[in-house]
Amino acid sequence: MGTLAGLLTRRVLSAMAWTLLVTAAVTVLVQWTHRARLLVPPHRYVSDGWQPKPPMGDKWSTGHYGLITASGRRGSVLDCPYPSGRELKECMSQHGYVARFYEANPAGDYWTFQWTDTALLGGLALGLTVVTVLLLRRRV
C-alpha cells in the first residue's frame, strides 16, 4: 500500500510542478497582451451636461470621466456631482463647464486581444489536462 501511495504522490507532484510552470509562462504572455491594449487610444464621447448620458453599451470604459469648458479645459466629474437635471446645469454654469465626457474604446477594438486570451487560456487548459493524464498514467 505504501509503494502505491508513494508512486501516486510522485506523479501528482510532478503534474503539479508542470501545471505551475506552464501557468506562470502563460500568465506572462496574457499580461503582455493586456499591456498592449494600452497602445490603443481611447475615443472621447461628449454629451450635454444636463441631460442623462446615453448608456455605454458595448464599449470598454477607461475610467476617465469629467467635465469640459468651452476652451477645452477638462475638469473632474466631482466638481459637479449631480447625475443630471437642473442642479447639474446650474453647477456647470457656475464653473464654466459646457459638456461632460467619458473615454472608452469600442469593444471591436479589442476582439484580437479577446481571441488571443481565449486561445492561450483554452490551450493551457487542454495542454495541462493532457500532461496531467500522461503523468498520472506513466509507470514509475
DSSP one-letter string for 39-62: GSPPEEEEEETTSPPPP-TTEEEE
For residue 113, give the C-alpha cell: 486581444
pLDDT of residue 134: 79
pLDDT at 2 over 60: no
pLDDT at 140 over 60: no
Mean pLDDT on 99-112: 74
The full length of the chain comes to 140
- Highest mean pLDDT among 46-55, 76-85, 91-100 belongs to 91-100
96: alpha, beta or left? (left if phi > 0; alpha if psi -120 to 50): left
Rounded distance between C-alpha atoms, residue 50 and residue 65, angstroms: 15
Full-prediction pTM beyond 0.85? no
Three-class DSSP category at 82: coil
Integer CA distances (angstroms), 48 to 45, 94, 103, in order = 10, 15, 15
For residue 15, give the C-alpha cell: 503534474
Which residue, chain included where needed, has cell 472621447?
44
Rounded distance between C-alpha atoms, residue 135 and residue 55, angstroms: 51
